[in-house]
Amino acid sequence: MTDVPLQDDPRPDGLRTASSLVLVNTGDGKGKSSAAFGVALRARARNWPVAVVQFLKSDDWVTGEQIMAPQLGIDFWSLGDGFTWDSDDLTKDEAEAKEAWRHGKSLVDAGEHRLVIFDEITYPLNWGWLDAAEVEQTFRNRPARVSLVLTGRDAPDWMIELADTVSVIENRKHAYDAGIAAKKGIDF
């Protein structure tokens, strides 16, 4: 960090445009999904068709982003069953993750959405619930104008390599650590 304002333009020479990008939000800090929804908001402001597929959050939770999505014209699917530690049947959770992937893959392959967010996809990938080779191939071979935002802790190496932008969100302090429960309007 510098103590004085920049005077020289820090941007690299030869900037070019890209028809689409892959963004990865990973790390142990809060804000990976929130950052993804910020991108969704920007994309909708530019009249892009946007889709969100959530892998762990349950449709029963009714999060703030889920409430706002229809008002903003965002296609939104919460296809998970909640936290795995609350699960009575991880086999059912795995089946739901596979169904979420099938749905998300069909959205990418169709190419109708210019932005598709795969919220918390790293978890079922890392647990072996999804075929990582198929997911990677789908993302690498996506239609030219389909951008992706991929979220979750411990993004696999192939995902980091594929991404155009990787943000690692670090947990330095969290309200949970002080015994404060998730807050409606801030956390969901």
Q: Write the pLDDT tens digit of every residue in 135-183.
A: 999 999 999 999 999 999 999 999 999 999 999 999 999 998 899 998 8
- Per the structure block, which two tokens stand in for 78? 């919460």
Angle at 44 between CA 40 and CA 49, to 5 degrees: 90
Q: Three-state DSSP class for 158?
A: helix
**Averaged pLDDT of the chain:** 92
| Domains in the chain, CATH or no CATH each | 22-157 (3.40.50.300)
Sign of CA dihedral 59, 62, 64, 67: positive
pLDDT in tens, 4-53: 898 888 888 889 999 999 999 999 999 999 999 999 999 999 999 999 99
Q: What is the mean pLDDT of residues 71-88?
A: 81
pLDDT in tens, 106-146: 999 999 999 999 999 999 999 999 999 999 999 999 999 99
pLDDT at 61 over 80: no
Residues in CB range of 77: below 8 A, 6 or more apart: 51, 52, 53, 54, 59, 100, 103
| pTM listed for this prediction | 0.91
Q: Please name the amino acid found at residue 152.
A: G
Q: How far is CA 53 from the centre of its chain?
A: 8
pLDDT at 188: 82
pLDDT at 2: 65
The dihedrals phi and psi of 107, each to the nearest 5 degrees, come to -65, -45
